[in-house]
């Protein structure tokens, strides 16, 4: 009972953070408009409470939202269950098909993760001292290739899976036009591996946005090597952001 109350409080907290800022929504719409047109298919991997799903729907894209956490799946179904343009897949995404143990952060469910390394990296790290992953649940896991076989090739894939980004990218061999993935300064190595994987997939031009700014750091698209150097030199206090990759 206490765990359920903590989870509900965490979900409500996330909804307040991610839905109350109209200017943030407008910035998201401007940023994502370059990656999709009305009717485009978009994958949202790690949909959490669905703020990106909402942005993609405002741009009239069709969305497949992937989220393994039961509490957040229920939240997504409340928000988008009647929207014919949204499919909710209650699964994790990674490099294999089967099941995986998923670490739950009851107080802050948007940083729950399938990565034990992420939990270890957060321990004692500046800015992460109040985070605790105190429960685990086994969830189904699939691959992007399997989902592409089911739904088609998306115009854009957004990946936000708390340290599991490189694993997600290992599960795709199909060419895509563009994608984004989250990075954290406590696990720069994961982002560096993800950049290399993007290059191997034929995505050669990169940019980045810090935190929730929804604004590109670079005025022009950069090489993978430039993004690697930028990421390595980024101060720890930057904490997190998203890297974008496109085909040239």
Write the pLDDT tens digit of every residue in 38-74.
999 999 999 999 999 999 999 999 999 999 999 999 9
Cβ count within 10 A of residue 47: 28
Q: How far apart are CA 185 and CA 62, in angstroms?
A: 32
Which residue, 87, 226, 225, 112, is CA-closest to 163?
112
Q: How far apart are CA 190 and CA 173, in angstroms?
A: 19
Q: Which CATH number fits domain 2-246: 3.40.50.720, 1.10.540.10, 1.10.3720.10, 3.40.50.150?
A: 3.40.50.150
Find all residues with CB under 8 Å of 243, minimum gap 6, and list them.
180, 181, 182, 183, 191, 194, 195, 206, 207, 208, 227, 231
Find all residues with CB under 8 Å of 58, minimum gap 6, and list them.
25, 29
Tens of pLDDT along 9-27? 878 888 888 888 888 899 9
Tokens (6 digits) for 9 = 């409080």
147 strand-pairing partners? none
Q: What share of the chain is helix, strand, coil (3-state, %, to 5)?
A: 40, 25, 35
210 strand-pairing partners? 241
The whole-number pLDDT of residue 5 equals 81
Q: How far apart are CA 103 and CA 67, in angstroms?
A: 13
Q: Rounded to the nearest 5 degrees, what angle is found at the Cα of 133, between the Cα atoms of 130 and 139? A: 150
The whole-number pLDDT of residue 7 equals 80
Tell me the pLDDT band of 1, cut-offs 50, 70 and 90.
low
Mean pLDDT of the 127-140 span: 93
Tens of pLDDT along 182-225? 999 999 999 999 999 999 999 999 999 999 899 999 999 999 99
Percentage of the chain with pLDDT > 90?
86
Find all residues with CB under 8 Å of 40, minimum gap 6, and list them.
61, 62, 154, 155, 156
- Positive or negative, the CA dihedral 115, 121, 124, 125 is negative
Tokens (6 digits) for 208 = 């980045």
pLDDT value at 129 more than 90: no
């Amino acid at each position: 009972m206490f765990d359920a109350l903590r989870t509900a409080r965490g979900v409500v907290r996330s909804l307040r953070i991610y839905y109350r800022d109209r200017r943030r929504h407008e910035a998201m719409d401007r940023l994502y408009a370059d990656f999709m047109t009305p009717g485009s298919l978009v994958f949202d991997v790690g949909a959490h409470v669905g703020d990106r799903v909402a942005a993609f729907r405002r741009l009239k894209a069709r969305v497949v939202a992937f989220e393994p956490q039961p509490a957040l799946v229920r939240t997504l179904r409340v928000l988008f269950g009647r929207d014919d343009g949204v499919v909710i897949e209650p699964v994790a995404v990674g490099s294999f098909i089967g099941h995986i143990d998923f670490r739950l952060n009851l107080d802050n469910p948007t940083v729950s993760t399938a990565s034990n390394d992420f939990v270890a990296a957060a321990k004692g790290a500046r800015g992460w001292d109040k985070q605790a992953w105190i429960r685990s649940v086994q969830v189904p896991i699939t691959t992007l290739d399997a989902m592409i076989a089911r739904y088609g090739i998306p115009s854009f894939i957004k990946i936000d899976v708390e340290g599991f980004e490189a694993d997600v990218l290992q599960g795709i061999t199909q060419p895509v036009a563009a994608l984004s993935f989250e990075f954290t300064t406590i696990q720069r190595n994961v982002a560096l591996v993800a950049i290399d994987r993007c290059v191997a997939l034929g995505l050669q031009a990169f940019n980045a946005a810090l935190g929730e700014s929804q604004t590109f750091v670079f005025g022009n698209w950069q090489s993978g090597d430039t993004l690697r150097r930028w990421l390595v030199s980024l101060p720890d206090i930057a904490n997190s952001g998203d890297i974008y990759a496109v085909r040239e």
